Amino acid sequence: MSSLDSRAPPGPVPIRSYGKYYLISKLAEGGMAEIFLAKQVGVEGFEKNVVVKRMLAHLSTANDFVAMFLDEARLASRLSHPNVVQVLDLGFEEGCYFIAMEYLAGEDFSTVIRSAAKQRTFVPLNIALKVLADAAQGLHYAHDFTDSKGQPLNVVHRDVSPSNIFVTYSGQVKMLDFGIAKAESRVTNTTAGVVKGKYQYMAPEQAQSLPVDRRADVYSLGVCMYEALCNARPFARDTDLAILNAVLKNEYRPPRQLRPDLPIELEQIIVKALSREADDRFQTAGEFAAAIENYLRASTSVTSGAALTTYMTSFFGQERVSAKTRIDSLEDLKASGVSLPATEKKAPSNPSGPSVATPQMPTSVSQRIDIIVEGATNAVGAPKSVVAQRQKSSATMLIAVALALLVGVGGTFAALKSSTTTVVNPPVPDRPTVVPPPIAVPSEVDAGPTIDAGLVEKPTGTETIDAGAPSPVPIPVPDKKPRVIVLSTPVISQVIRRNAGPVVRCFQEHRGDLPGPSGKVDVTITIERSGKVSSVTSPMAGTGVGKCLEERLKQIRFPPHVDESVKITLPLSFKTQ
């Protein structure tokens, strides 16, 4: 059992390879995923710190969760803005999907607020407002995002909270976790009646499971502003039911009752953002950001990224900053005596740059299917008479058909594109068990009780990133209708394995059409939403083996699935002897 399977607590883990990455330390675990600090390596000593967010193993067979996880990758990979975390890669490894994101050295805003409250102080106004304005700009970008044809996607984050606003030590502010974001074109539809998000930050319409738009995110950001400036959550109550009632009735204490020195202009911004009716709020996150920035300019306390850097570094201390920014390289770890897998095996197949990558098939799926056939020929383009004569001999021909599936993800939310990369029986790196020196985040500053009891402590180990949706999503009870699934790599491989026999017989029956004693034929198939194979293309079209492959592959039926169509390339390798 691997360290991933054992669901280790946050902290250092035995360094091991995971796809094209090396897992170094577990940062957090949430409702959907585990999050690891990892290394991406490449040729000529290339090495990059990334964060790997891996779906929890027990959820990998729950179609709703798989679809939600893939939705996050599809959406987030297309968002490119200084105030939105960048998704670099989507992959499939050891039976689970994962995404790789840029590594951010810093703290989530929730940790910043709580740490200040423990010291019985507030985050300075200019610092807090800078963070909130930048977060609003990131949200505004996502809300306005369009597809390649210029059509708005109408993205709504739906989980805006201080834990999903990240502040780096270098003065950047990033919005995290679009895992439950709603876009009109997303593959997965929200289950009717299911409320998603953190109760204390929900807009009233979201709490009632009504349709939401960007103004729901504006409301949630208003809750974040209240908490950041008052060290208290406006709707903090003893139970979830009491919280929801307070949200629906819009019952909260005015900010200046909790903090009399708060400028009235800032209270007015909060009150407008927290309007019960969406029409009474700021209509866009951009308007919300502009209101904050206007106050900053008028108060002559405009804050730059440099000021944010100075505050973060001085407040959290150089030791904590160094622990998150000065991460040992693999060579440094090796020099200190840590056993590492062989890095030369980990060069990425596409070193040109980060992208939403092809999920790779587990090694166990890439297998050889060997059939012994009477008769043999090694002649290239031999006359049919010679072939017939040699078929009568006692020699044998070994046809090895290696089915190596690579399913490409990207382009649009609704369609999967093809990849022609072939991976046949890749070597499995060693998995060392030596635990590296600790790289975990030190415990946060603790200098006394919080000012307000409503500022609930966050579980240990989750300071860095919120790993997913906070409340579990019920899995629908199966009915008698055909089950529509995500056509994931394990599903495709299972179907192909079950139908490998007829495909191999094409090479037996038409071995005279083979171009030589060994080679490879790349056959591309398109699978429609119904599961039917609608097209088969190969460089041997028109030959006996090409016609046979087309006929038999079209007879394969895959399960109905959520995508419009899926294209896959089957690299079929043959060898005679």
pLDDT at 61: 75
CA distance 147 to 149: 5
pLDDT digits (tens, 9 = 90+) for 205-260: 999 989 999 999 999 999 999 999 999 999 999 988 899 999 999 999 999 999 99
At a CB cut-off of 8 Å and minimum separation 6, what does 159 contact?
177, 179, 180, 181, 196, 197, 198, 201, 220, 469, 470
Residues acting as catalytic residues: 159
Assigned token pair, 544: 């006996």
Assigned token pair, 519: 């080679």
- Which range of 31-45, 84-98, 355-369 scores highest in mean pLDDT? It is 84-98
Mean pLDDT in residue range 354-370: 34
**Residue (of 414, 387, 404) closest to 509 by Cα position:** 387
**Residue (of 508, 337, 512) closest to 435 by Cα position:** 337
Question: From the CA atom positions of the chain, what is the Rg in Å?
Answer: 28
Which domain, by its residues, includes 58? 11-335
Torsion of CA 485, 486, 491, 492, to 10 degrees: 120
Q: Which residues, listed in sequence order, are joined to residue 6 by a DSSP beta bridge? A: none
Q: Using DSSP, how many helices (H) and how many strands (E) does the chain show?
A: 16, 15
At a CB cut-off of 8 Å and minimum separation 6, what does 247 contact?
199, 200, 202, 203, 204, 207, 235
At a CB cut-off of 8 Å and minimum separation 6, what does 357 contact?
89, 90, 91, 350
pLDDT digits (tens, 9 = 90+) for 503-520: 888 887 887 777 766 777
CA distance 309 to 314: 8
128 lies in a domain?
yes
Same-domain pairing of 285 and 417: no
Assigned token pair, 102: 């840029």
- Cα 536 to its chain centre, rounded Å, is 31
Query: What is the end-to-end Cα distance of the chain in Å, rounded?
Result: 40
Same-domain pairing of 326 and 389: no
Other CB atoms closer than 10 Å to residue 472's CB: what's the count?
Answer: 11
Q: Which residue has the tokens 């690299």?
A: 571
At a CB cut-off of 8 Å and minimum separation 6, what does 235 contact?
199, 200, 223, 243, 246, 247, 251, 252
Relative to beta strand 106-108, strand 87-93 is unpaired
132 lies in a domain?
yes
Same-domain pairing of 243 and 374: no
Same-domain pairing of 296 and 376: no
442 lies in a domain?
no
Same-domain pairing of 318 and 365: no
CA distance 361 to 507: 24
**pLDDT tier, 138 (very low <50, low <70, confident <90, very high otherwise):** very high
pLDDT at 186: 52
Q: Is pLDDT of 451 > 60?
A: no
pLDDT at 168: 95
CA distance 497 to 430: 27
**Residue (of 470, 454, 449) closest to 115 by Cα position:** 449
62, 483 Cβ separation under 8 angstroms: no
pLDDT at 119: 93
pLDDT at 400: 36
Q: Is pLDDT of 456 > 60?
A: no
Helix pair angle (214-230, 125-143), 10° resolution: 170
Same-domain pairing of 267 and 407: no
Same-domain pairing of 410 and 557: yes
533 lies in a domain?
yes
Same-domain pairing of 39 and 173: yes
Q: Which residue has the tokens 């030959």?
A: 543
Q: Is pLDDT of 101 > 50?
A: yes
**Residue (of 49, 5, 4, 18) closest to 429 by Cα position:** 18
Residue where one domain finishes, among candidates 335, 369, 387: 335
Q: How many CA atoms lie within 13 A of 292 on its CB side?
A: 28
CA distance 1 to 153: 42
Same-domain pairing of 287 and 376: no
Residues in the chain: 577
- CATH number for 321: 1.10.510.10
Same-domain pairing of 123 and 171: yes
Number of domains in the chain: 2
Q: DSSP string covering 466-498, please? A: --S-SSPPPPPPP-SSPPPB---HHHHHHHHHH
51, 375 Cβ separation under 8 angstroms: no
**Residue (of 334, 332, 429, 354) closest to 42 by Cα position:** 354
Share of the chain above pLDDT 70, in %: 66
Integer angstrom CA distances of residue 153 from 141, 271, 463:
11, 29, 31
468 lies in a domain?
no
pLDDT at 491: 77
**Residue (of 242, 108, 100, 232) closest to 175 by Cα position:** 108
228, 451 Cβ separation under 8 angstroms: no
Other CB atoms closer than 10 Å to residue 291's CB: what's the count?
Answer: 19
pLDDT digits (tens, 9 = 90+) for 300-329: 766 778 899 999 999 999 999 998 888 888
Residue where one domain finishes, among candidates 269, 302, 335: 335
Residue where one domain finishes, among candidates 335, 351, 384: 335
Integer angstrom CA distances of residue 211 from 195, 205, 215:
11, 7, 11
Between 122 and 398, the more confident residue is: 122
CA distance 407 to 392: 42
Same-domain pairing of 300 and 391: no
pLDDT at 74: 81
**Residue (of 342, 384, 360, 308) closest to 109 by Cα position:** 308
Same-domain pairing of 82 and 224: yes
104, 325 Cβ separation under 8 angstroms: no
126 lies in a domain?
yes
CA distance 388 to 130: 81
204 lies in a domain?
yes
176 lies in a domain?
yes
